[in-house]
Structure 1
């Protein structure tokens, strides 16, 4: 219980820092006044109109990515698994590049919906192509890697023949950015991710069983293929919603479950909410640092998480070099 309370207090502290620090430093007293709706108009606009939706968006994106990473590692039984490994993020990225670069007539408000659809379409394709009298984690990973490479090649091909301004917008989106955080997008992401998060937590026992291996799970009476398919769908819903809202924010789905496993253990009833909370804190902290490390330049949050996550990935590989 102490770990939960400490982590939530740490996240709350980072949340207040995110509302206070930026191009214009706002004292904490003024931030609290703005949250109560009693601050002066300029401060009120900065805190509740600009920084607050961005901070809430960072929390939601991180929670979705952390929980989806825990799902991916459970069904793949691979500590290096994350939604990007399954190719789900590549499907969303391909849809985004297609819309931004080639479909000028499509309203930009449809971009989150179409990228969300790209993630779902990729998850369906992965599960269909990996099915052969059932599915296996190995086939899902191999098919996911292949489709991810194909989607990446298609996105590069589309970018090659696109207009330079449109390609630049697509590259900024793919780098992962929270600059376009608005309350409409916050509500959209919350509505997309709330139910999948609840369902992922509800199937915690099934995830504990499938993590033991297919043979053991079937021996315990579990319908392994149905559980794996449901988990892949939930993983696609969560990561697709996060990517649609913010672009590609790398490594959070890998790092958050590992930290949660260290703090809360292997049981998914604690691991799923723990990974979601740690993922939320990671993205919020990364966005705070990305906004303030080189002012007035704002580094995309996806670039910052990649800079932090790549050494962590290398450390995991080094630890398992004999495995």
Structure 2
């Protein structure tokens, strides 16, 4: 079990974000779980549903530095990572860090930039460092990248390469609010609730401590076999051109540990695995063209794979009694 202090902080964090983003508590919890594991988040949806606001709110609730990158078609890699500037007076080069050198980074409309600029993020996302002019510089710890993107059929967008998609722990869609939730949102707007006025709920040192504790959450051997069996089935699925990679399996297990930690347990149960499955796996699958024409998507394939998997019964009973 996690300590009451950590559970209280996580509850306050979710409630604070929920006070700004109306009717999206499940998505907020997934984002917090993703951050607990130290993973990166991709928010994909139509413009105007609160993707950027969610990232700004999460950043405001955490202490530490915040960087924002507005991706456009003319954005260069040096605009992301930083650049070395020559000073004639001293004859020396001085490194001026880019917005990626922050604890929490918002990559807004990431798929509006050209592939060359998108690839500048790969090293930062995977290795938590950037290399400029042959010199490698570490990123602050902890480092969290939260990116937003518009649907691919929107004008001026580029498809993210599979290697980059695979480095996002979760892809989360917000969707339109229900009518009553939108009415509540309008009411809250009159109350002048502002992200700029929010104080940090969770210090980065506390988040780093929780991330270390998440790694210690118990994952039984049968749960691991269950994850691998689903991943292996995806690699032989007749409607998939690309299944779940080993990195995807590791990410799925890590997200399940983080969900168990968020729920107050020191061990993973199948409900934790299922709760994060769509967000962790759907964007890692590449459907064959005929599957897309048939109306399938990543989420529906993940649901099918889970329905055919054999859930460890012992953990179902243990989870029910806990």
Shorter-chain-normalised TM-score: which range? under 0.3
Higher relative contact order (CA 8 A, sep 6+): 1
**TM-score, normalised with respect to structure 2:** 0.27
